[in-house]
Amino acid sequence: MARNILVVEDDNNISNLIKMYLDKEGFEVRLAADGGKAVEEFQAQEPDLVLLDVMLPVLDGWGVLSRIRENSKCPVIMLTAKGEVDDRIHGLEMGADDYVVKPFEMKELLARINAVLRRTEIPDDTHKRLSFDKLVINLDSYELIVDGKKIDTPPKELELLYHLAATPNRVYTRNQLLDEVWGFDYFGDSRTVDVHVKRLREKVEGISDQWELKTVWGVGYKFEVKA
C-alpha cells in the first residue's frame, strides 16, 4: 500500500511541485492550503507523514502541530523559510521530527522523508521498553513513567532518553545524539540536545539514587547506572 503524505503549504506552486515529485516516487499525496483544512484532512484520515509549512492562513504551522500532537505521534517535517536555530529548536521541542528550510532540493526532501519514516517504524516483533528504579521508558506506547506517574513527554525527548538509557554508562557526544536520535544529516547545533536534556532533567532528576542523566563535561551525556 502506498504511503500517504499530507502536504500543508499555502503556495500552490510549491505544493504542486512537491506533489508531482512524490507522486513519481509512489507516495499518495493530499494537499491542504491552510491550517484549518490541514486539521480537517488529518482528522478525516491520518497520514503516514505530514509536511507542514509554518506560515499558514487560518491556523499557523505551530497551531497545526499542536493539534496533531494532542492525539497522534504521526511524523511531521516542518517546511519553512525561517532558518534561525531558535525556530528549529522550537519546532523540535513541540514534537516535530525534522525541519527543512526553504529553498530546498527535492532530493533532500525525499531523503528526509524516507529517513523519518524509517526512524518512526517500530517492527511488530520489537518491544522497546526499559525499566529502572522508579523509571519506565516505553517507546511502544510512548510513555514515560516516573515514580509510578505518567509524565507527558514530547516524542523526541522520550526517544533521546531511551537512546541514552538503552546503553547505560556509554558516553554520547552531542553530534552523535543529533545523528542517531534526530536522524541523518540533521542541520542543527548542540543546543538542540542541551535543551532536550534540560527538559528531561526537570522530569526525572532526583527521583532515584540508582541512576542519573549525567553531563560528561567537554564530551556530552550519558545515562549512568550506579553499581
Tell me the H-state helices in the chain.
12-24, 35-44, 61-71, 85-93, 106-120, 155-165, 174-177, 190-204
CA neighbours closer than 13 Å in the CB half-sphere of residue 70: 9
Per-residue burial over 166-192, b if 16 or more Cβ lie within 10 Å, else e, is eeeeeebebebbbeebbbeebebeeeb
Q: Hey, what's the cell of 9?
A: 503549504
Q: What digits encode the pLDDT tens for the residues 8-22?
A: 999 999 999 999 999
DSSP reduced 3-state for 187: coil
Pairing assessment for the beta strands 4-8 and 49-53 based on DSSP bridges: parallel
**Rounded to whole angstroms, how far apart are CA atoms 32 and 41?**
7
Q: What is the mean predicted confidence (pLDDT) over 77-81? A: 85
Q: What digits encode the pLDDT tens for the residues 23-59?
A: 988 899 999 999 999 999 999 999 999 999 998 999 9
Q: What digits encode the pLDDT tens for the residues 178-216?
A: 878 877 555 556 788 899 999 999 999 999 999 999 999
* 155 pLDDT above the threshold of 90: no
**Rounded to whole angstroms, how far apart are CA atoms 74 and 68?**
8
Domains of the chain in sequence order: 4-120 (3.40.50.2300), 129-225 (1.10.10.10)
**Would you give the distance in Å from CA 167 to the centre of its chain?**
21
pTM of the model: 0.60
Q: Hey, what's the cell of 25?
A: 516516487
* 177 pLDDT above the threshold of 60: yes
Residues of the chain with pLDDT > 90, as a percent, come to 56
**Rounded to whole angstroms, how far apart are CA atoms 130 and 123?**
17
